[in-house]
Amino acid sequence: MFRSVHNSTRVRDARAAYERVRGAHLDAVQAAFEDHILRLDWSREQIERYREQRLRALLGYARERSPFHARRLRGLDPSSATVADLARLPVMTKQDAQDEWDAIVTVPDLDLRDAERVLAEQLWFSYTPGGRQIFSSGGSSGVRGVYAWDWELFVSFACLAWRFQAREERRGPPLPRATRLAVLTAGEPPHASTPLFDMATAAGMDTVVIPARAPFDEVLAAVAAARPTHLVGYATVVGRLARAALAGDLELRLARVSTNSEPLLDEDRQAVRDAWHVPIHNLWGSTEIGVQAVGCGHAGGLHVCEDEVILERVDEAGVPVGDDEPAARTLATGLANRTFPFIRYDLGDQVTMLPEKCSCGSGFARVADIAGRRDDDFRYGECTVPASAFRHVLGTDPRVSEYQVRQTSAGAEILAVGQPDTATLTSSMVAALRRHGLPDPEVRVRVVGRLERNESTGKLRRFVALDSHPGNAG
């Protein structure tokens, strides 16, 4: 009993200490909001000039302070570099980021051992003496990574995440006098989602964090009890809440919805529209790069945060392709991260450019909503079945509220939450796999009460390839 009370007291003290520093950090975010909101009205010339200056500053700093990047930048003059010059550099991978951690980091008082010690010893989210936050994430690939966010980097990420919503709420009708944001994220360390999204965007707004990894009935009850005016969280959880609202199991009056951390599938977007008739701000980001693109709430697609990130759509060899050409992968350079620079980093996501100017008036380039990673596709020998083949069948079945697809040697096992007709669903999936070249697919549909989410992040891994099943990792 004494030990339990003692531990709870230590956790409470750790949370209080964190919140005191975080309060100052949130004040810094609010101070920077004005600048970031004004950027949304920049011309293309302003965006490109600012981006190039930021790139030169990043390359010059990384070359001088990071042995890893000094090797990669040999032969490139940062003072005159352009976005096009990035193509001369090798691709940086997630494996590089973890294997070369100590050679990448640019500050002398931090290495991977120190970062791991922070993660192991902290009782709650924390700041290092240098004002940094340390996070770890498995990401959609399931491979663990350790990351350091410095003070200014968090300010940048927070402004990028929320500036479109803040701008639209300033332009729109007055909000209710009392506003509350329900935050459906990991909820606790070591994942970065909670510090980033637990953020008031309007004067007087309060927030409540609801761990997304909890059983759905508990999430549903907590959201109903909170009675939020705004909702932000993992796309799959928000989509399922919307379907609960349509079924009469949840009554909310929302002003705005924001989704993140997972692909926002068409069926989830439509459920949100049907349930609440509110603007949706979808966000595409990563722990490494931060916020890559955000929806404005007007037209479809996402605006690339070109003032703080450079995206390159490339072929398999890492050579940039045109906006109207298919790309094998997307590389990102984060312009705000000086402590741990990511330069031409392989995100793994598939990106399609949208050429039309957005009705919101912003000059920032747009990409289509991210449907998933190339890693989500299943390979059976010479045959590749895209994740969209499963999404088309499972995501359009109104009796399936949530699903997970696990690849098998000859097909797939599908875990479905809801009340599907398993025979019909199996037949439809077999036909879809045959259309994609799998000659004799074996499909098993199993109805389950809930899907297991990542224990630390609460994210749902929608597509699980055969070589990443438990026990198959090498």
d(CA 101, CA 59): 18
Mean pLDDT along residues 204-223: 91
Cβ pair 226, 180 in contact under 8 A: yes
- What is the reported pLDDT for 3? 42
In contact, 276 and 257? CB cutoff 8 Å:
yes
Supply the DSSP symbol for 206. Answer: E
Among candidates 374, 365, 219, which has minimal Cα distance to 302?
365
Model confidence at 262, pLDDT cuts 50, 70, 90, reads confident
In the prediction, which pLDDT does 469 show? Answer: 54
Model confidence over 100-141: pLDDT tens digits?
999 999 999 999 999 999 998 999 999 999 999 999 875 544
Average pLDDT of span 179-185: 95
3-class SS of residue 228: coil
Mean pLDDT calculated for residue range 241-268: 92
**Contact status, residue 267 vs residue 242, Cβ threshold 8 Å:** no
pLDDT the model gives residue 456: 58
pLDDT tier, 210 (very low <50, low <70, confident <90, very high otherwise)? very high
Residue 206 near residue 254 (C-beta atoms within 8 A): no
Mean pLDDT of the chain: 89
Q: How far apart are CA 460 and CA 455, in angstroms?
A: 10
pLDDT confidence of residue 399 = 80
**Model confidence pLDDT, tens digit, residues 334-372:** 999 999 999 999 998 888 999 988 999 999 999 998 865
Per-domain residue ranges for the chain? 377-468
More reliable by pLDDT, 123 or 470: 123
Q: What is the pLDDT of residue 353?
A: 93
The CA distance from 287 to 112, in Å, is 16
pLDDT of the residue at 187: 83
Residue length of the chain: 474
What's residue 463's pLDDT?
87
Tens digit of pLDDT for each residue in 406-435? 999 999 999 998 889 999 999 999 988 988
Residue 402: the pLDDT is 80
Report the amino acid identity of residue 85. D
What's the whole-number mean pLDDT along residues 280-284?
95
pLDDT of 393 reads 81
Residue-level pLDDT at 465: 87
Question: Please, which pLDDT band fits residue 300 given cuts at 50, 70 and 90?
Answer: confident
83 has a pLDDT exceeding 90: yes
CB 194 within 8 A of CB 456: no
pLDDT tens digits for 36-59?
999 999 999 999 999 999 999 999
With a cut of 60, say whether residue 164 has pLDDT above it. yes
Residue 389 binned pLDDT confidence (cut-offs 50, 70, 90): confident
Q: Which pLDDT does position 218 carry in this prediction?
A: 92
Q: Is the pLDDT of residue 460 over 60?
A: yes
The pLDDT assigned to 371 comes to: 66
Cβ atoms of residues 345 and 288 within 8 Å? yes
Residue 447 in contact with residue 422, Cβ under 8 Å?
Answer: yes
pLDDT band, very low/low/confident/very high, at 256 (cuts 50, 70, 90): very high
Q: Read off the pLDDT of residues 307-333 as tens digits, 9 standing for 90 and up.
A: 999 999 999 888 999 998 888 889 999
- Tell me which architecture the domain covering 377-468 has in CATH: 2-Layer Sandwich (3.30)
What was the pLDDT predicted at 385? 83
Confidence band of 2 (pLDDT split at 50, 70, 90): very low
Q: Is the pLDDT of residue 1 over 50?
A: no
Res. 142 pLDDT band, cuts 50 70 90: very low
Q: 308 vs 17, 35, 141, CA distance in Å?
A: 30, 13, 24
